[in-house]
Protein backbone atom coordinates (compact mmCIF):
# COMPACT_ATOMS: atom_id res chain seq x y z
CA UNK A 1 0.00 0.00 0.00
CA UNK A 2 1.39 3.41 -0.95
CA UNK A 3 0.60 6.43 1.19
CA UNK A 4 0.88 9.81 -0.52
CA UNK A 5 2.42 12.49 1.70
CA UNK A 6 0.64 15.64 1.01
CA UNK A 7 1.12 17.71 9.25
CA UNK A 8 -1.10 18.25 11.98
CA UNK A 9 -1.38 16.71 15.40
CA UNK A 10 -5.16 16.90 15.35
CA UNK A 11 -6.69 14.45 17.81
CA UNK A 12 -8.94 11.84 16.28
CA UNK A 13 -10.77 10.38 19.23
CA UNK A 14 -14.02 11.95 20.33
CA UNK A 15 -16.26 11.03 23.26
CA UNK A 16 -19.72 12.59 23.35
CA UNK A 17 -20.53 13.36 26.97
CA UNK A 18 -22.35 16.17 28.71
CA UNK A 19 -22.20 18.26 31.86
CA UNK A 20 -21.90 21.88 32.95
CA UNK A 21 -22.33 24.15 35.93
CA UNK A 22 -23.04 27.82 36.30
CA UNK A 23 -22.57 30.20 39.16
CA UNK A 24 -20.24 33.11 38.44
CA UNK A 25 -21.01 36.10 36.27
CA UNK A 26 -18.18 37.45 34.13
CA UNK A 27 -18.15 40.96 32.69
CA UNK A 28 -18.06 41.39 28.94
CA UNK A 29 -14.98 43.12 27.53
CA UNK A 30 -15.20 44.36 23.96
CA UNK A 31 -12.44 43.85 21.40
CA UNK A 32 -10.22 46.90 21.18
CA UNK A 33 -10.63 46.96 17.41
CA UNK A 34 -13.73 47.28 15.27
CA UNK A 35 -16.48 44.68 15.49
CA UNK A 36 -15.30 41.45 13.89
CA UNK A 37 -18.38 41.02 11.74
CA UNK A 38 -17.62 44.27 9.98
CA UNK A 39 -13.90 43.68 9.51
CA UNK A 40 -14.47 42.58 5.93
CA UNK A 41 -17.22 44.25 3.97
CA UNK A 42 -19.82 41.85 2.55
CA UNK A 43 -19.35 43.63 -0.77
CA UNK A 44 -15.76 42.38 -0.95
CA UNK A 45 -16.49 38.77 -0.04
CA UNK A 46 -16.58 37.35 -3.54
CA UNK A 47 -13.40 36.76 -5.47
CA UNK A 48 -13.80 38.05 -9.05
CA UNK A 49 -14.05 34.56 -10.57
CA UNK A 50 -15.68 32.75 -7.65
CA UNK A 51 -19.28 33.11 -8.77
CA UNK A 52 -18.64 30.72 -11.67
CA UNK A 53 -16.94 28.05 -9.57
CA UNK A 54 -19.17 25.21 -8.44
CA UNK A 55 -18.24 22.06 -6.57
CA UNK A 56 -17.36 19.17 -8.88
CA UNK A 57 -19.63 16.16 -8.66
CA UNK A 58 -18.62 13.76 -7.47
CA UNK A 59 -16.17 15.69 -5.30
CA UNK A 60 -13.07 13.86 -4.06
CA UNK A 61 -11.01 15.87 -1.59
CA UNK A 62 -8.13 15.38 0.82
CA UNK A 63 -7.25 17.48 3.86
CA UNK A 64 -4.08 19.59 4.26
CA UNK A 65 -2.80 21.15 7.47
CA UNK A 66 -1.18 24.60 7.72
CA UNK A 67 2.23 23.08 7.36
CA UNK A 68 1.48 20.90 4.37
CA UNK A 69 -0.13 23.83 2.56
CA UNK A 70 3.02 25.88 3.23
CA UNK A 71 5.45 23.17 2.08
CA UNK A 72 6.26 23.12 -1.66
CA UNK A 73 6.87 19.37 -1.70
CA UNK A 74 3.47 18.68 -0.17
CA UNK A 75 1.78 20.93 -2.69
CA UNK A 76 3.58 19.15 -5.54
CA UNK A 77 2.34 15.81 -4.20
CA UNK A 78 -1.19 17.24 -4.05
CA UNK A 79 -0.93 18.51 -7.63
CA UNK A 80 0.27 15.10 -8.75
CA UNK A 81 -2.84 13.53 -7.19
CA UNK A 82 -4.95 16.04 -9.10
CA UNK A 83 -3.16 15.44 -12.39
CA UNK A 84 -3.57 11.68 -11.96
CA UNK A 85 -7.29 12.41 -11.42
CA UNK A 86 -7.45 10.91 -7.94
CA UNK A 87 -8.79 14.16 -6.45
CA UNK A 88 -10.54 17.28 -7.71
CA UNK A 89 -10.72 19.23 -4.43
CA UNK A 90 -8.69 20.04 -1.32
CA UNK A 91 -9.57 21.18 2.23
CA UNK A 92 -6.93 23.49 3.73
CA UNK A 93 -6.68 24.56 7.37
CA UNK A 94 -6.84 28.31 7.77
CA UNK A 95 -7.63 28.24 11.50
CA UNK A 96 -7.05 25.01 13.36
CA UNK A 97 -7.55 23.74 16.91
CA UNK A 98 -4.54 25.74 18.09
CA UNK A 99 -6.52 28.91 17.38
CA UNK A 100 -3.79 30.23 15.09
CA UNK A 101 -4.75 31.72 11.74
CA UNK A 102 -2.36 30.61 9.00
CA UNK A 103 -2.61 33.48 6.51
CA UNK A 104 -2.10 37.22 6.51
CA UNK A 105 -5.69 38.05 7.33
CA UNK A 106 -7.03 41.60 7.36
CA UNK A 107 -9.17 40.82 10.44
CA UNK A 108 -7.73 43.05 13.20
CA UNK A 109 -9.00 40.88 16.06
CA UNK A 110 -6.68 38.07 14.94
CA UNK A 111 -3.67 40.24 15.77
CA UNK A 112 -5.34 41.38 19.00
CA UNK A 113 -5.65 37.75 20.09
CA UNK A 114 -2.08 36.88 19.18
CA UNK A 115 -3.52 34.38 16.71
CA UNK A 116 -1.72 35.64 13.62
CA UNK A 117 0.77 33.00 12.46
CA UNK A 118 1.40 33.50 8.75
CA UNK A 119 2.39 29.95 7.85
CA UNK A 120 0.89 30.05 4.34
CA UNK A 121 2.67 33.19 3.17
CA UNK A 122 1.25 33.58 -0.34
CA UNK A 123 -2.31 32.42 0.16
CA UNK A 124 -3.73 34.19 -2.90
CA UNK A 125 -1.09 32.71 -5.17
CA UNK A 126 -1.66 29.25 -3.69
CA UNK A 127 -5.41 29.42 -4.31
CA UNK A 128 -4.85 30.63 -7.86
CA UNK A 129 -2.40 27.82 -8.55
CA UNK A 130 -4.74 25.15 -7.19
CA UNK A 131 -7.58 26.59 -9.26
CA UNK A 132 -5.26 26.41 -12.26
CA UNK A 133 -4.81 22.70 -11.58
CA UNK A 134 -8.57 22.28 -11.65
CA UNK A 135 -9.01 21.93 -7.90
CA UNK A 136 -11.99 23.18 -5.92
CA UNK A 137 -10.47 24.81 -2.83
CA UNK A 138 -12.13 24.64 0.61
CA UNK A 139 -11.02 26.59 3.69
CA UNK A 140 -11.38 24.78 7.03
CA UNK A 141 -12.04 26.87 10.14
CA UNK A 142 -12.09 25.34 13.64
CA UNK A 143 -14.56 27.42 15.64
CA UNK A 144 -15.10 26.85 19.38
CA UNK A 145 -11.91 25.01 20.29
CA UNK A 146 -9.73 28.12 20.28
CA UNK A 147 -6.94 28.65 22.85
CA UNK A 148 -5.84 31.96 21.31
CA UNK A 149 -9.24 33.62 21.56
CA UNK A 150 -9.87 32.07 24.99
CA UNK A 151 -6.63 33.46 26.42
CA UNK A 152 -7.07 36.91 24.86
CA UNK A 153 -10.75 37.13 25.77
CA UNK A 154 -11.31 35.09 28.94
CA UNK A 155 -14.72 36.75 29.26
CA UNK A 156 -15.75 34.61 26.26
CA UNK A 157 -14.05 31.39 27.36
CA UNK A 158 -15.03 28.22 29.18
CA UNK A 159 -13.54 28.18 32.70
CA UNK A 160 -13.00 25.70 35.54
CA UNK A 161 -15.84 26.31 37.94
CA UNK A 162 -13.77 24.92 40.82
CA UNK A 163 -11.09 27.59 40.26
CA UNK A 164 -13.36 30.63 40.15
CA UNK A 165 -13.74 32.91 43.15
CA UNK A 166 -17.40 33.93 43.61
CA UNK A 167 -16.16 37.11 45.30
CA UNK A 168 -14.09 38.12 42.27
CA UNK A 169 -16.15 37.45 39.11
CA UNK A 170 -13.34 38.19 36.68
CA UNK A 171 -12.09 34.89 35.28
CA UNK A 172 -8.72 35.13 33.57
CA UNK A 173 -6.36 32.83 31.68
CA UNK A 174 -5.35 31.00 34.91
CA UNK A 175 -8.86 29.56 35.34
CA UNK A 176 -9.42 28.39 31.75
CA UNK A 177 -10.99 24.95 31.40
CA UNK A 178 -8.91 22.60 29.24
CA UNK A 179 -9.90 19.48 27.35
CA UNK A 180 -7.91 16.25 27.35
CA UNK A 181 -5.43 17.69 24.88
CA UNK A 182 -4.84 20.69 27.12
CA UNK A 183 -6.66 23.07 24.78
CA UNK A 184 -9.02 25.86 25.82
CA UNK A 185 -12.49 26.54 24.40
CA UNK A 186 -14.70 29.56 23.93
CA UNK A 187 -18.32 29.55 25.03
CA UNK A 188 -20.45 28.44 22.06
CA UNK A 189 -23.04 31.07 23.04
CA UNK A 190 -20.55 33.95 22.76
CA UNK A 191 -21.71 36.17 19.90
CA UNK A 192 -18.36 37.92 19.64
CA UNK A 193 -16.75 34.54 19.00
CA UNK A 194 -19.30 33.96 16.23
CA UNK A 195 -18.42 37.29 14.63
CA UNK A 196 -14.69 36.62 14.97
CA UNK A 197 -14.93 33.38 12.99
CA UNK A 198 -17.28 34.88 10.42
CA UNK A 199 -14.84 37.71 9.77
CA UNK A 200 -12.07 35.18 9.09
CA UNK A 201 -14.41 33.24 6.82
CA UNK A 202 -15.27 36.37 4.83
CA UNK A 203 -11.60 37.16 4.36
CA UNK A 204 -10.97 33.61 3.14
CA UNK A 205 -13.82 33.89 0.65
CA UNK A 206 -12.43 37.20 -0.56
CA UNK A 207 -9.10 35.45 -1.23
CA UNK A 208 -10.83 33.06 -3.63
CA UNK A 209 -11.65 30.02 -1.51
CA UNK A 210 -14.66 28.31 -3.07
CA UNK A 211 -16.19 27.07 0.16
CA UNK A 212 -15.81 27.55 3.91
CA UNK A 213 -15.89 24.39 6.04
CA UNK A 214 -16.65 24.83 9.75
CA UNK A 215 -15.44 22.29 12.32
CA UNK A 216 -15.72 22.02 16.13
CA UNK A 217 -19.10 23.71 15.97
CA UNK A 218 -20.21 22.22 19.25
CA UNK A 219 -19.82 22.17 23.00
CA UNK A 220 -16.78 20.37 24.48
CA UNK A 221 -16.95 16.59 24.51
CA UNK A 222 -14.05 15.42 26.67
CA UNK A 223 -12.24 16.43 29.83
CA UNK A 224 -13.86 17.19 33.20
CA UNK A 225 -17.25 18.22 31.85
CA UNK A 226 -18.71 18.68 35.33
CA UNK A 227 -16.24 21.47 36.07
CA UNK A 228 -17.17 23.81 33.22
CA UNK A 229 -18.36 27.39 33.65
CA UNK A 230 -19.83 29.23 30.66
CA UNK A 231 -19.92 33.04 30.87
CA UNK A 232 -22.48 33.44 28.05
CA UNK A 233 -24.55 30.26 28.05
CA UNK A 234 -26.97 30.18 30.97
CA UNK A 235 -26.87 26.40 31.38
CA UNK A 236 -30.65 26.17 31.00
CA UNK A 237 -31.17 26.67 27.30
CA UNK A 238 -30.71 23.38 25.42
CA UNK A 239 -27.29 23.07 23.84
CA UNK A 240 -28.77 22.24 20.45
CA UNK A 241 -30.68 25.54 20.46
CA UNK A 242 -27.43 27.43 21.01
CA UNK A 243 -25.67 25.57 18.21
CA UNK A 244 -28.71 25.81 15.95
CA UNK A 245 -28.79 29.58 16.43
CA UNK A 246 -25.11 29.73 15.53
CA UNK A 247 -25.83 27.76 12.34
CA UNK A 248 -28.55 30.24 11.43
CA UNK A 249 -26.27 33.19 12.19
CA UNK A 250 -23.58 31.76 9.91
CA UNK A 251 -26.04 31.38 7.07
CA UNK A 252 -27.36 34.93 7.40
CA UNK A 253 -23.90 36.46 7.54
CA UNK A 254 -22.40 34.30 4.78
CA UNK A 255 -25.38 34.27 2.45
CA UNK A 256 -23.22 34.59 -0.68
CA UNK A 257 -20.68 31.95 0.32
CA UNK A 258 -20.87 28.15 0.04
CA UNK A 259 -20.62 26.78 3.58
CA UNK A 260 -20.31 23.27 5.00
CA UNK A 261 -20.47 21.78 8.48
CA UNK A 262 -18.49 18.94 10.04
CA UNK A 263 -20.50 16.85 12.51
CA UNK A 264 -19.76 13.84 14.68
CA UNK A 265 -20.49 10.60 12.85
CA UNK A 266 -22.91 9.62 15.62
CA UNK A 267 -25.14 12.55 14.60
CA UNK A 268 -26.20 10.45 11.62
CA UNK A 269 -27.79 7.77 13.79
CA UNK A 270 -28.75 9.47 17.06
CA UNK A 271 -31.82 11.61 17.68
CA UNK A 272 -30.43 13.58 20.63
CA UNK A 273 -27.68 16.22 20.52
CA UNK A 274 -24.96 13.87 21.86
CA UNK A 275 -24.50 16.25 24.78
CA UNK A 276 -22.61 18.66 22.49
CA UNK A 277 -25.46 20.47 20.71
CA UNK A 278 -25.19 18.73 17.34
CA UNK A 279 -28.42 17.55 15.70
CA UNK A 280 -27.98 16.81 12.03
CA UNK A 281 -31.40 18.17 11.04
CA UNK A 282 -30.37 21.57 12.41
CA UNK A 283 -27.35 21.58 10.14
CA UNK A 284 -29.48 20.55 7.15
CA UNK A 285 -31.49 23.74 7.54
CA UNK A 286 -28.56 26.15 7.22
CA UNK A 287 -25.62 24.67 5.29
CA UNK A 288 -25.02 23.83 1.65
CA UNK A 289 -23.15 20.66 2.58
CA UNK A 290 -23.29 18.57 5.74
CA UNK A 291 -20.18 16.49 6.32
CA UNK A 292 -20.54 13.78 8.98
CA UNK A 293 -17.21 12.34 10.11
CA UNK A 294 -18.21 8.71 9.75
CA UNK A 295 -14.79 7.30 10.64
CA UNK A 296 -15.45 3.66 11.61
CA UNK A 297 -12.79 3.87 14.34
CA UNK A 298 -14.81 6.56 16.12
CA UNK A 299 -17.83 4.35 16.78
CA UNK A 300 -17.95 2.59 20.13
CA UNK A 301 -17.52 -1.10 20.76
CA UNK A 302 -20.90 -2.75 20.20
CA UNK A 303 -22.09 -0.38 17.47
CA UNK A 304 -24.15 -2.56 15.11
CA UNK A 305 -23.03 -5.46 17.27
CA UNK A 306 -19.42 -5.03 16.14
CA UNK A 307 -16.65 -5.77 18.63
CA UNK A 308 -14.39 -3.44 16.64
CA UNK A 309 -16.31 -1.14 14.25
CA UNK A 310 -13.01 0.00 12.69
CA UNK A 311 -12.68 -3.43 11.10
CA UNK A 312 -16.08 -3.15 9.38
CA UNK A 313 -15.75 0.04 7.30
CA UNK A 314 -18.40 -0.79 4.71
CA UNK A 315 -21.07 -1.74 7.23
CA UNK A 316 -20.47 1.20 9.56
CA UNK A 317 -20.31 3.84 6.82
CA UNK A 318 -23.25 2.41 4.87
CA UNK A 319 -25.50 2.28 7.93
CA UNK A 320 -24.50 5.79 9.03
CA UNK A 321 -24.96 7.43 5.65
CA UNK A 322 -28.24 5.63 5.01
CA UNK A 323 -29.52 6.91 8.35
CA UNK A 324 -28.33 10.45 7.53
CA UNK A 325 -30.14 10.30 4.20
CA UNK A 326 -33.35 9.10 5.85
CA UNK A 327 -33.21 12.01 8.29
CA UNK A 328 -32.83 14.40 5.36
CA UNK A 329 -35.67 12.82 3.41
CA UNK A 330 -37.97 13.33 6.40
CA UNK A 331 -37.59 17.11 6.07
CA UNK A 332 -39.58 19.39 3.72
CA UNK A 333 -38.82 19.01 0.04
CA UNK A 334 -37.24 22.42 -0.38
CA UNK A 335 -34.59 21.51 2.19
CA UNK A 336 -33.91 18.18 0.53
CA UNK A 337 -33.20 20.01 -2.71
CA UNK A 338 -30.91 22.62 -1.14
CA UNK A 339 -28.54 20.72 1.15
CA UNK A 340 -26.35 17.75 0.22
CA UNK A 341 -24.53 15.05 2.20
CA UNK A 342 -20.77 14.75 1.70
CA UNK A 343 -18.97 12.73 4.40
CA UNK A 344 -15.45 12.63 5.77
CA UNK A 345 -13.89 9.16 5.39
CA UNK A 346 -11.03 7.50 7.24
CA UNK A 347 -7.55 7.01 5.77
CA UNK A 348 -5.58 6.64 9.01
CA UNK A 349 -4.74 3.68 11.21
CA UNK A 350 -6.86 3.57 14.34
CA UNK A 351 -8.55 0.40 15.50
CA UNK A 352 -7.32 -1.30 12.34
CA UNK A 353 -4.70 -0.91 9.64
CA UNK A 354 -6.39 1.12 6.94
CA UNK A 355 -5.15 -0.18 3.60
CA UNK A 356 -6.53 0.60 0.15
CA UNK A 357 -9.31 -1.99 0.48
CA UNK A 358 -10.53 -0.40 3.73
CA UNK A 359 -10.65 3.04 2.12
CA UNK A 360 -12.38 1.67 -1.00
CA UNK A 361 -14.97 -0.06 1.17
CA UNK A 362 -16.00 3.26 2.70
CA UNK A 363 -16.31 4.94 -0.68
CA UNK A 364 -18.44 2.12 -2.02
CA UNK A 365 -20.60 2.27 1.12
CA UNK A 366 -21.31 5.96 0.53
CA UNK A 367 -22.14 5.34 -3.13
CA UNK A 368 -24.53 2.50 -2.31
CA UNK A 369 -26.17 4.24 0.66
CA UNK A 370 -26.86 7.53 -1.13
CA UNK A 371 -27.62 6.20 -4.60
CA UNK A 372 -28.47 9.01 -7.02
CA UNK A 373 -27.83 11.52 -4.21
CA UNK A 374 -24.14 10.57 -4.07
CA UNK A 375 -21.96 13.65 -4.66
CA UNK A 376 -18.59 12.53 -3.34
CA UNK A 377 -16.53 12.51 -0.15
CA UNK A 378 -13.55 13.98 1.66
CA UNK A 379 -10.68 11.94 3.10
CA UNK A 380 -8.97 12.67 6.42
CA UNK A 381 -5.51 11.74 7.55
CA UNK A 382 -3.98 13.90 10.32
CA UNK A 383 -0.50 13.46 8.80
CA UNK A 384 -1.80 14.17 5.29
CA UNK A 385 -0.56 10.81 3.95
CA UNK A 386 -3.13 9.40 1.57
CA UNK A 387 -3.72 6.05 -0.12
CA UNK A 388 -4.05 7.48 -3.62
CA UNK A 389 -4.69 4.15 -5.34
CA UNK A 390 -7.84 3.66 -3.25
CA UNK A 391 -9.49 6.71 -4.80
CA UNK A 392 -11.42 6.18 -8.05
CA UNK A 393 -10.36 8.37 -10.96
CA UNK A 394 -12.52 11.43 -11.49
CA UNK A 395 -13.59 12.78 -14.84
CA UNK A 396 -10.88 14.81 -16.59
User: What pLDDT does 34 receive?
Assistant: 44
The pTM (predicted TM-score) of the whole model is 0.90
pLDDT at 227: 96
Helix, strand or coil for residue 207? coil
List helix spans (H) across the chain: 66-69, 72-83, 108-112, 123-132, 147-152, 191-206, 239-253, 280-284, 313-329, 333-338, 356-370
Instruction: Give mean pLDDT, residues 36-61.
Output: 61
Instruction: Work out the number of other CB atoms within 10 angstroms of the CB of residue 58.
Output: 18
Which among 60, 67, 114, 118 is positioned nearest to 87, based on CA atoms?
Answer: 60
Q: Which fold has domain 4-390?
A: TIM Barrel (3.20.20)
**pLDDT value of position 379:** 98
pLDDT at position 125 over 60:
yes
355 CB burial (10 A radius; 0-12, 13-18, 19+): middle
* Band of pLDDT at residue 22, cut at 50, 70 and 90: very low
Once rounded to an integer, what is the mean pLDDT over residues 210-223? 97
3-class secondary-structure state, position 214: strand
Could you read off the pLDDT of 160-214 as tens digits, one per residue? 999 998 777 677 889 999 999 999 999 999 999 999 999 999 999 999 999 999 9
Do 286 and 248 form a contact (C-beta atoms < 8 A)? yes
How does the average pLDDT of the chain come out, rounded?
89
Continuous segment of H or E residues that includes residue 247: helix 239-253
Q: Which residues contact 376 (CB under 8 A, 6 or more apart)?
A: 56, 57, 58, 59, 60, 61, 89, 342
Q: How far apart are CA 161 and CA 226, in angstroms?
A: 9
Please determine, for residue 255, whether its predicted confidence score (pLDDT) is greater than 70. yes
Binned at pLDDT 50, 70 and 90, residue 111 comes out as very high
- What's the distance, CA 246 to chain centroid? 14
Contact 156, 229 (CB under 8 A): no
Measured in whole angstroms, the distance separating CA 218 from the mean position of its chain's CA atoms is 10
d(CA 158, CA 160): 7
Amino acid sequence: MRKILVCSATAIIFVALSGSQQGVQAPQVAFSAQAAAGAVSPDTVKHPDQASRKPPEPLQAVYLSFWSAATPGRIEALVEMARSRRINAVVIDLKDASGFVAFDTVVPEVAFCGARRVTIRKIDSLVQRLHGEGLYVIARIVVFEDPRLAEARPDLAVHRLSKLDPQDPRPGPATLWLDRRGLAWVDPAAREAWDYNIAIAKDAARRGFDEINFDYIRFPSDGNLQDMYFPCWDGARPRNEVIGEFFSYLRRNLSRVIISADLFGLATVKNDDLGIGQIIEDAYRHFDYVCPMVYPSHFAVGFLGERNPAKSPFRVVHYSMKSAQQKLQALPGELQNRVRLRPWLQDFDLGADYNADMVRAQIEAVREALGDQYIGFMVWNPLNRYTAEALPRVAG
